[in-house]
Amino acid sequence: MKKIEAIIKPFRLDAVKDALAEIGVAGMTVSEVKGFGRQKGHTEVYRGSEYQVDFLPKVKLDIAIDDERAAEVVAAITKEAHTGKLGDGKIFVSDLINVIRIRTGEEGPDAL
């Protein structure tokens, strides 16, 4: 099993979610996060005072998936979250040791 964490631009979330639903991803967790990469931050000006805002709002998706479908999921996210500009985000893929469905107690791939 793989855990896929994708940091994307907030306004691409709906497109990414639809694309993942289309290829049969059954669930995901979404959080509003802040961070920076090469895009860096931006400045904001209030009554003439400039503030450097380093952390930009992004959306993070957490998806647990079978090993064989991981590449497909990564490809779907990459395609839909892509704008070609700095700040499109990153996808982290890691090995997932176990998954437990709380309602039934099922473990491993059965719990996905």
Partner 1 sequence: METHATRSKTIPTTRFKLALKSLQVFLPVFLMFAKATSAHAADATLDSGDTAWMLISTALVLFMTIPGLALFYGGLVRTKNVLSVLMQCLALTALMSVLWLVFGYSAAFDSTGMEVGKVGLHSFIGGCSKAFLLGITGDTLTGNIPEVLFFAFQMTFAIITPALIVGAFAERMKFSAMLWFSSLWLILVYLPICHMVWGGDGAFFADKGVLDFAGGIVVHITAGIAALVACIVIGPREGYQTTAMIPHNLTMTLTGTGMLWVGWFGFNGGSALAANGDAAMAITVTHLSASAAGLTWMGIEWIIHQKPSALGLATGAVAGLAAVTPASGFIGPIGGLCIGIVSGAVCFLASTSLKRKFGYDDSLDVFGVHGVGGFVGTLLVAVFAAESFGGNQGSLNIGSQFGTQLCAAVVTAVYTGLVSYILLKGIDKTIGLRVTAQDENQGLDLALHEETGYRY
Identity of the residue, 18 or 44, whose beta carbon is nearer to partner 1 in the bound complex = 44
Could you give the angle at which helices 13-22 and 70-81 cross, rounded to 10 degrees? Answer: 150
Least distance in angstroms from the C-beta of 51 to partner 1:
4
Structure tokens belonging to residue 100: 């437990």
**DSSP for residue 104:** T
Least distance in angstroms from the C-beta of 54 to partner 1:
9
Identity of the residue, 34 or 79, whose beta carbon is nearer to partner 1 in the bound complex = 34
CA 111 to chain centre: 21
Residue numbers at the binding site for partner 1 (CB under 8 A): 44-49, 51-53
